[in-house]
Amino acid sequence: MIKRIGVLTGGGDCPGLNAVLRAVVKTAMVKYGYEVIGFRDGYRGLVMNDYMKFKPGDVSGILDKGGTILGTSNRDNPFSFRIEKDGKVEYKDLSERVMDNVSMLEIDGMILIGGDGTLTSARDFFSKGLKVVGVPKTIDNDLCSTQVTFGFMTAVETATEAIDKLHSTAESHHRVMILEVMGRYAGWIALEAGIAGGADVILIPEIPYDIDKVAKKIIERKNAGKGFSIVVVAEGAKSLDGQVVVRKVVSDSPDPVRLGGVGNKIADEIEKITGIETRVTVLGHLQRGGRPTPYDRILSTRYGVAAVEMLHEERFGVMVSLQGDEITCVSLEDAVGRLKTVAPDGELVRIAKSVGVGFGD
């Protein structure tokens, strides 16, 4: 019989995390009378036994706040945990320590909120006997087993607002304006914000681009009397040679390659080919911050409530999922390891091309 549950937020932050936490705590306490333990800074808190006992007032006023009151981390994997000793770094499997901490705190089930990395560890903990339910989180919207992840629509709105603002300065100065957005392997933010913002060119990882065709699109607009163009590019966009632009490599990170700079590369190439002044705006972590949109607040709340209900119903080893209009669940095994990417011949790409958007292909 469940009496106490635990919760953590892992991976990169995004709008809506606090809304999920609020829904988890309120549903657990009000509907079921459970106690709720929150672990700080993602899996690090679970390994180091760093936690807080939630009181009802702890989640008051956080529905519209970005970030996460628990903190988060995208570097700490309990199955390969970084330990520094005597100036040397080594990685150890501390998953058994996690199991001991959960047992010591008499936690009857865990809600783990995060993206593919966080949920992969959730799957592995379930195989060790931990009673877990996952909640899908990523602004990239690239988890394959749910229709939409919370945080995505807020990121799209942020990017769309940026495009709207760039339009006026691009038109005034007769420039090409490039907006670089997040999207390592999946171009959903670039694609949807580009359509919503009226971009002229959208470059995404799923469709390798030919820079000459990008330049041709811009020159055609100029010859038609439109002296400016808007280009939206995902950070993981690839040219025909298949190479991405790497900003730096963080050797001690589970995901060491940091992308960034593709916008500047494309800007230099466009200026060289067209002679048109080209400027770049890198949206960066602005996409992760700020107040979640009403859509994301509602979706986050639905996910949080459903996660507690899954624990109550003893449906463990699953991730809550949006399928159509319904919140359901899928197994963690099916939820991780495969990314949902943009189909090059899918509807969104097709309608974008129908209204004249170029993809450099």
Q: pLDDT digit of tens for each residue in the chain (361 aa)? A: 899 999 999 988 999 999 999 999 999 999 999 999 999 999 999 999 999 999 989 999 999 999 999 999 888 899 999 998 888 889 999 999 999 999 999 999 999 999 999 999 999 999 999 999 999 999 999 999 999 999 999 999 999 999 999 999 999 989 999 999 999 899 999 999 999 999 999 999 999 999 999 999 999 999 999 989 999 999 999 999 888 888 776 666 666 677 788 999 999 999 999 999 999 999 999 999 999 999 999 999 999 999 999 999 999 999 999 999 999 999 999 999 889 999 999 999 999 999 999 999 9
What pLDDT is stored for residue 95 in this prediction? 96
Quote the pTM value.
Answer: 0.93
CATH superfamily of 156-288: Phosphofructokinase domain (3.40.50.460)
Please identify which of the residues 140, 142, 200, 296 carries the catalytic annotation. Answer: 140
Active site residue 86: no
What pLDDT is stored for residue 243 in this prediction? 85
> Locate tokens 């009181």: which residue?
55
Instruction: Give the CATH architecture of domain 4-150+292-335.
Output: 3-Layer(aba) Sandwich (3.40)
**Other CB atoms within 10 Å distance of the CB of residue 47:** 21
**Residue 247 main-chain phi, psi, to 5 deg:** -80, -45
What are the residue ranges of CATH 3.40.50.460 in the chain?
156-288
What are the residue ranges of CATH 3.40.50.450 in the chain?
4-150+292-335
Give the residue among 242, 208, 215 at the shortest CA–CA distance from 361: 208
Contact in structure between 134 and 318 (CB atoms under 8 Å): yes
Task: List, as own/partner pairs, every contact residues 323-330 make where C-beta atoms lie below 8 angstroms and the sequence separation is at least 24, other chains included.
Answer: 323/146, 323/147, 324/147, 327/302, 327/303, 329/133, 330/145, 330/146
